Amino acid sequence: QVQLVESGGGVVQPGGSLRLSCAASGFTFSDYGVHWVRQAPGKGLEWVAFIRYDGSNKYYADSVKGRFTISRDNSKNTLYLQMNGLRAEDTAVYYCAKTSGQPYYFDYWGQGTLVTVSS
Amino acid sequence: QTVVTQEPSLTVSPGGTVTLTCASSTGAVTSGNYPNWFQQKPGQAPRTLIYSTSNKHSWTPARFSGSLLGGKAALTLSGVQPEDEAEYYCLLYYGGAQLQCVFGGGTKLTVL
């Protein structure tokens, strides 16, 4: 069965860095694009970034552009989110979400990993 | 900055029918926005119910349906069950040179 397992969350100081991972299993990871989506405590969902199946194209929300980098290692079935210059407003649960082909065909989600930016 | 708007809250009786909507600040929502709908219960990850306006996944209950209605995306629940009480989010896709996906603020559905 399809599984997406996020990891790498934790507490980091403002201005710091963190790298999140999303380990995929149960499907051919290299065939599908994947999103990162976040949710601040008690708030709604916010789209963060998308990467195509082969890593050829990457897209970002304006709120993270220039600070976050999405990448993937298809040999390891893993998606990454490198987060630099973290701010308090980046505090959220970060989810990876798989697509079934095109970027607008969402299907499976992971359970999320919590990132807290605080001094 | 594109804004996607949903009703903040709705209440429906068990067995009833309710429609949630999703509007775009850029104008009418079209099939080219490929609306997706997600359900999220407290303490859980979101679950995709509908993709590309009206397509269901294998796990989507038959009582959920998606459509375009009056320039908005719509999610209709027919024969609402108590377990449908949840937060519902829509997402719209904005293509072009810079792909953007924008979530609505969510609708808290209460079954009462």
Q: What does the pLDDT average to over A83-87?
A: 98
Question: For chain A, what is the mean pLDDT?
Answer: 97
Which residues, in sequence order, are CB contacts of B97 under 8 Å at separation 6+? Answer: none
Contact A44 B89 (CB under 8 A): yes
Model confidence at A84: pLDDT above 90: yes
d(CA A22, CA B59): 23
pLDDT, tens digit, 9 for 90 and up, residues A27-66: 999 999 999 999 999 999 999 999 999 999 999 999 999 9
Share of chain A above pLDDT 90, in %: 97
Model confidence at B97: pLDDT above 90: no
d(CA B101, CA B33): 9
Which residues in A lie closer than 8 A to residue B38 (C-beta atoms)?
Answer: 45, 106
d(CA B48, CA A46): 15
Contact B47 A109 (CB under 8 A): yes
B17 vs B1, higher pLDDT: B17
Q: Is A62 in contact with A1 (CB distance < 8 Å)? A: no
How would DSSP label each residue in B37-83? Answer: EEEE-TTS--EEEEETTTEEPTTS-TTEEEEEETTEEEEEEES--GG
Model confidence at B1: pLDDT above 90: no
B36 at interface of A, judged by CB pairs closer than 8 A: yes
| The amino acid at A19 | R
- The angle subtended at Cα B55 by Cα A71 and Cα A29, nearest 5°, is 25
pLDDT, tens digit, 9 for 90 and up, residues B3-55: 999 999 999 999 999 999 999 999 999 999 999 999 999 999 999 999 999 99
Contact A103 B99 (CB under 8 A): yes
Q: Is residue A46 within a helix (H) or strand (E), and if so which, with residue range?
A: strand A45-51
Contact A109 B105 (CB under 8 A): no
- The angle subtended at Cα A52 by Cα B66 and Cα A89, nearest 5°, is 75
DSSP label at residue A55: S
What is the model's pLDDT at position B98?
86
pLDDT bucket at B84, cuts 50 / 70 / 90 = very high
What is the model's pLDDT at position B6?
98
What is the model's pLDDT at position A101?
82
Question: For chain B, what is the mean pLDDT?
Answer: 97
